[in-house]
Amino acid sequence: MFYTGLFAVVRCPAWSRGITRARSALAQLNTVVEAELEGIRGAGTWKNERIITSKQGPHIRVEGSSGAIVNFCANNYLGLSSDPAVIQSGIDALNQYGAGLSSVRFICGTQNLHKSLEAKIAKFHQREDAILYASCFDANAGIFEVLLTPEDAIISDELNHASIIDGVRLCKANKYRYKHLDLRDLEAKLKEAQKHRMRLIVTDGVFSMDGDVAPLKEICDLSDKYNALVFIDECHATGFLGPNGRGTDELLGVMDRVHIVNSTLGKALGGAAGGYTAGPKALVDLLRQRSRPYLFSNTLPPPVVGCASKALDLLMDSNTIAQTMASKTKRYKSILIPVS
């Protein structure tokens, strides 16, 4: 403290000035965030989360509502998230392998369970190899920057999933975006991209918002013509599209022409969590060495692996389960009354 004429000036210690600055930074953060939240409310896009108090399934219990509610909005396409055999497999894996590995894969996070699921995924998709991720979001975030360099080009449908968009952002390849499902525009972009070393066409197999199916046969024809690779995100197709539930490529007869498949274990395949890339062995080997979400994130928990593994067994044992989705959709459509 010191005196300047009439007034005593109190000097605050450095730590208290630090706290004052931290408080003002927090106040600023709150102001900025509140304004943003108000904007979301004003735009009518606020997302309320309903709280489910039962297992996921066609009928669920929801906090605040009495009785069972018919659930049309999960991606539990085959009902396997509450299948007794899937649940039991998760319990068995929990008992045998524990809750988790407390590690990433390459340090000490790989169990025989993970290797066997990867082999099953590769077999299911009829690809050389497969690699697991904590989610398909991670699989999409982790692939493009490993595969493509500034010498290459990525040609992506404009309505691809957010995780593809983020993955593409992270990669240093030249970026082209074609109009949704528009083959003419795709061809124009492929022509433009001929100057690059490699070209990768990237599309959702099925687009989740409207259920559009990518014209994969025609896309593969263009990929042949312009020497491009084809990548599909099969989150909304794996397990139930095509005669054996292999996905959009099976449905459209191009399993041997699509080079890379990314998909999720978090929808039709038991619904727990996890994602993967299935494709050429050399690519999968490289992903294990370089893909950041794989290298720097914890391994999939054994119970999750156990559930997905059983879901795949069920699908590979017979195509009856895969076909339930098609027959239920048909039945539902037949009883829908058109609203005039």
CB nearer to ligand PLP: give 87 or 232: 232
Q: Give start and end residues of each alpha helix (H) in the chain.
A: 14-42, 84-97, 105-108, 112-125, 136-147, 162-170, 183-192, 216-225, 248-251, 281-290, 292-295, 302-317, 320-335
Q: Is 208 an active-site residue?
A: yes
Instruction: Report in angstroms how near the CB of residue 73 gets to ligand PLP at its nearest.
Output: 12
Active site residue 267: yes
Between CA 44 and CA 49, with CA 47 as vertex, the angle to 5 degrees is: 150
Q: Which is nearer to ligand PLP, 193 or 231 (CB)?
A: 231
223 is an active site residue: no
Q: Which is nearer to ligand PLP, 45 or 340 (CB)?
A: 45
| DSSP conformation letters of 16-56 | HHHHHHHHHHHHHHHHHHHHHHHHHHHTT---PPP-B-S-S
Q: 193 with 155: CB under 8 angstroms?
A: yes
Nearer to ligand PLP, 79 or 266 (CB): 266
Nearer to ligand PLP, 239 or 275 (CB): 275
Single-letter amino acid, residue 32 = V
- Other C-beta atoms closer than 10 Å to the C-beta of 31 total 10
Active-site entry in 236, 291, 309, 310: 236
List the catalytic residue out of 82, 175, 208, 328: 208
User: Which is nearer to ligand PLP, 193 or 275 (by Cβ)?
Assistant: 275
Nearest distance from residue 262's CB to ligand PLP, in Å?
7
Catalytic residue among 267, 291, 309, 310: 267
φ, ψ for residue 55, nearest 5 deg:
-70, 160
In angstroms, rounded to a whole number, what is the distance separating the alpha carbons of residues 308 and 234?
16
Could you tell me the two tokens for 29?
Answer: 């953060």
Tell me how far, at minimum, the Cβ of 12 lies from ligand PLP, in Å: 48
Q: Least distance from C-beta 238 to ligand PLP, angstroms?
A: 10
The pairing of beta strand 174-178 with beta strand 153-157? parallel
In the complex, minimum distance from the CB of residue 326 to ligand PLP, in angstroms, rounded to a whole number: 20
Instruction: Give 153-197 as a 3 state SS string.
Output: EEEEECCCCHHHHHHHHHCCCEEEEECCCCHHHHHHHHHHHHHCC
- The residues of the shown chain that bind ligand PLP, judged by CB under 6 A, are 135-137, 140, 161, 163, 204, 208, 233, 235-236, 264, 266, 275
Residues designated catalytic: 208, 236, 267
